[in-house]
Amino acid sequence: MGGSDAGLIVVGTIRSLILHTLGSRFEGVPKREVARLELDVERATHGDGTDIEVGNLAGVSFQGPPELVPAYALGERVQLTVSSEMHIASIRRAPLS
């Protein structure tokens, strides 16, 4: 994340978690696998603490390393810190609040 990118903090329940293959735009660069995660969002805030309307995140997919697929399961409640490009910077299990 760049210096001007405060990111988002999103809490929700995993609705979808799949391994996805991204093609390369450049010849000779191999395809790579990423985890694609969708949440039923309960709460979301900007990095500066201001609230985000959860409806604005409906249908949004977050992207992270492929290791997330075996580490997390559908129905788990998690907290993500994501960049403005929706790349997962950190993930942890979130206790019920």
Q: How confident is the model at residue 3 (pLDDT cuts 50, 70, 90)?
A: very low
CB atoms within 10 A of CB 39: 24
Q: What predicted TM-score, i.e. pTM, was given to this entire model?
A: 0.83
The predicted model gives 32-37 an average pLDDT of 94
Q: What is the CATH topology of the domain spanning 8-93?
A: OB fold (Dihydrolipoamide Acetyltransferase, E2P) (2.40.50)
> How high is the pLDDT of residue 31?
87
d(CA 27, CA 35): 23
State the Cα torsion 10-31-66-14 to the nearest 10°.
40
Which pLDDT band, with edges at 50, 70 and 90, does 4 fall under? very low
**What are the structural domain ranges in the chain?**
8-93
Assigned token pair, 69: 């697929």
